[in-house]
Amino acid sequence: MSLSFPVRLAAAAAAVAVTVAVSPAPAHASIPDGTRFYTPRPDPGAVQQIAQLAHAGQWRLAHQIATMVTTPQAVWVTGGSGRSLTKSIKKETRRAAAQRATPVFVAYNIPFRDCSQYSAGGATSVAEYKAWIDAFAAGIGGSKAAVMVEPDGLGIIPWYTTINGDKEWCQPAEADPATAASDRFAMLNYAVDRLTRLPHTSVYLDGTHSAWLGTGDIADRLVKAGVAKADGFFLNVSNYETTERQLKFGNWISKCIYYGTEGSADNRGHFERCASQYYPASPGDFSTWGLSDAWYDANVGNVSPRRLAHFVVDTSRNGQGPWAAPAGVTWPDPQTWCNPPDRGLGLRPTTRTGDALADAFLWVKTPGQSDGQCDRGTGTGLDPARGNTADPAAGAWFPQQAIELVQFANPPLR
């Protein structure tokens, strides 16, 4: 077998449209049943790693990583502008059309994204962001697409005050405290309005995940961001929480949105009353989550899925669930979300979710790309969870993590 085999394997498999399984879904589901999801070109770092593994005679591992990168996954759009951005989006939609597949795009360019941390960057003004969205939308045009609008865009809002009166920790000096939060909601609403005007595009907003914001807090933010005009929200993007928990969390968010917008007049706007993973349930004990289910049964009841917001779940890296720092370790910040060791690929992209409100399981985060240069709060720039080595920068290919993802995949890779 020649050295170029893994490269040919990745490229050939990437050209094959992958058909996802089908299940009944609500009538207004924005990602249709039976959707084929697009497989973009593999990360160059992945192609290089596959070639190196094959050259070393590690054929099975090379094949597994090739399988990972030729599974449908999202295309992240993190910059560009004007005609060049429109042209690049059009190229992806044409490649997707050649596969007879639907591309999943991630719009990730909002000002102060990630609060200028590991994935810092983004547009520099409201006007610049709106122009960017316009160019993005022009690239999709009448093609089929699904767009995940701004991961962390609602989880981290500069200079925001929550429904509980708590001040957001993200307070960049460059942002105007008086307008930063309202600007964020205005930009997200603009993105929803612009993208939903496209005839065949599904649009989802940031719903965080079950180990982050409480149900009422994220429901309130989603409403302010225009979820009623979108096709729903996404969960667990770039994180590791279990699918089982995201399905519960997603249903609670949807019902909390209904409770605070369409329920009785006394409940309108009172998202803080909604049950969550924090109360009456206990976040660390999944056996208690039925208590929050019971709250929604009593206070929302049996509402048709057509009247509730839908959602999608990122299952790209949650096969082994979340990670916890080893017992007795005293790192200043375990950063459980950042390149945790020994995680695995999760459920493959599909519309067969088994849940009336869950439109799809998707691979949104590109598996094998780094979360950032984690140091667990030590300030050393080295990752003590990985033998005090330096992790690659956010978005760069991480060979060791790629190996872990395929070795610990659940369900296993064939």
pLDDT of residue 389: 96
Answer whether residue 32 shows pLDDT above 80: yes
Per-residue buried b or exposed e for 180-209, using 16+ beta carbons within 10 Å of the residue's own CB:
bbebbbbbbbbbbebbbebeebbbbbbbbb
pLDDT of residue 8: 47
Number of other CB atoms surrounding residue 155 within 10 Å? 21
What tokens were used for 304?
């048709």
Angle subtended by helix axes 82-98 and 126-140, to nearest 10: 30
Q: What is the pLDDT of residues 100-133, one digit of tens each?
A: 999 999 999 999 998 967 667 899 999 999 999 9
pLDDT of residue 116: 67
Which carries the bigger pLDDT value, residue 122 or residue 8?
122
pLDDT of residue 414: 82
Answer whether residue 3 shows pLDDT above 50: no
What tokens were used for 150?
């701004």
Ordered by where they begin, the domains of the chain are: 18-40+71-367+398-407 (3.20.20.40)
Strand 201-206 to 145-149 pairing = parallel
Helix, strand, or coil here: 361?
strand
- Could you tell me where the DSSP H helices lie in 19-166? 44-55, 59-69, 82-98, 126-140
User: What is the pTM (predicted TM-score) of this model?
Assistant: 0.92
Comparing CA positions, the residue from 414, 209, 409 lying closest to residue 320 is 409
Q: What percent of the chain has pLDDT over 70?
A: 92
pLDDT of residue 15: 38
Q: Are 31 and 104 in contact (CB under 8 A)?
A: no
